[in-house]
Amino acid sequence: MKRTAAFLAMAILPIALLAGCGAPEAPAAPSADPPKGVSVSLAQWRSDEPVHAIEVAVTNVTDTPVYFSDVQLVTPSFKTLPPERADALLKRTPRTDLRIPYGAANCSPKGLPSLQPATVVAHLRTGSEPLRRVVFKVPHPDSLLTRLLRDECSAFLITEAADIEFGDDWTQVGKVMRGSLVLTRRSTGVVAVQDVGGTTHYIATPVEKSRPLATLDAGAQRARLALELTPGRCDPHAFAEGKKAFLFPVRATIDGGEERVVIVVPPKPLQERLTAYALKTCGLGG
């Protein structure tokens, strides 16, 4: 009797071990084609830029409602983020925007990469059908993704050589805020700032007018660019809608190459000081 029990225990043991490892998962359902009459395109509003987001613009030309559970951009050109919850029931619509974040561009120090094909992946339900995974092909090359990749990787090439930041020397002189941008060495190459652009709120004026405005020479660790800021608009609406107030475009080159644009953003405490200064200068604050 003891031998029989021992034999049964030995026979059951491998089965128990296999069960403990878990049964193989069922293969994921294959992706389905988009529902007829439903299409997507990509767009970006001004308010999307500071938060690294885009709009998946959905068109439904049918009378059948389509429920989008989540949405995701997938392309080798940008890091893939987890699906963004949408929870949107779309009836017949010429366009409904579903905002999603997109990942950082996959850049290379060797130069600007070419845009790779992209898809929009969504879990959706048409009418009363079950939820399913659907892949929408984005027409290639998409003009928005082309621009986003170019801009982000252009900035990457500059910032690989040097950081460009607002200095800590900003003070008000009369009706002008005066301070500097600081270039700090990160790797090799001569970095030259060719121009500093303003924003929706501020006019940026270099103190020295010569070109380049500032140069970080090959053997230098730091360089400064003296700059003045003044209010660009003084209407209350501009301050209320200041989504791009602090995105300053800086045009720079490495070793005399092609000009690239880096968006430089002042730190939060300086943003608050600039806002208070502009409101007071415009007669809108105390």
Q: Give the pLDDT confidence of 115-150 residue by residue, as tens digits.
A: 999 999 999 999 889 999 999 999 999 999 999 999
| pLDDT tens profile 181-212 | 999 999 999 999 999 999 989 999 999 888 89
Angle CA(175)–CA(179)–CA(182) in degrees, nearest 5? 160
Burial class (CB in 10 A: 0-12, 13-18, 19+), 116: middle
Q: What is the pLDDT of residues 64-102, one digit of tens each?
A: 999 999 999 999 999 999 999 999 999 999 999 999 999
Q: In 3D, which of 183, 182, 164, 176 has the Cα closest to residue 204?
A: 176
Instruction: Determine the residue type at 4.
Output: T
Domains in the chain: ranges and CATH: 38-141 (2.60.40), 161-281 (2.60.40)
pLDDT at 21 over 80: no
Bridge-based pairing of strands 84-90 and 93-101 is unpaired
3-state secondary structure 91-135: CCEEEEEEEEECCCECCECCECCCCCCEEEEEEEEECCCCCEEEE
Among residues 88, 66, 81, 77, the alpha carbon closest in space to that of 134 is found at 66
Look up the pTM and report it: 0.76
| Amino acid code (one letter) for 27 | P
Burial class (CB in 10 A: 0-12, 13-18, 19+), 135: middle
Q: In the structure, what pLDDT confidence band is assigned to residue 24 with cuts at 50, 70 and 90?
A: very low
Compute the half-sphere exposure of residue 137: CA atoms within 13 Å on the CB side of its CA: 7
Structure-token pair, residue 156: 């990457």
Rounded percentage of the chain residues whose pLDDT exceeds 90? 76
Q: Are 13 and 64 in contact (CB under 8 A)?
A: no
Q: How do residues 152-167 score in pLDDT, each as one tens digit?
A: 999 999 999 999 999 9
Q: How far apart are CA 81 and CA 105, in angstroms?
A: 12
For the stretch 34-60, pLDDT in tens is: 999 999 999 999 889 989 999 999 999
Give the model confidence (pLDDT) of 234-257 as tens digits: 877 666 666 788 999 999 999 999
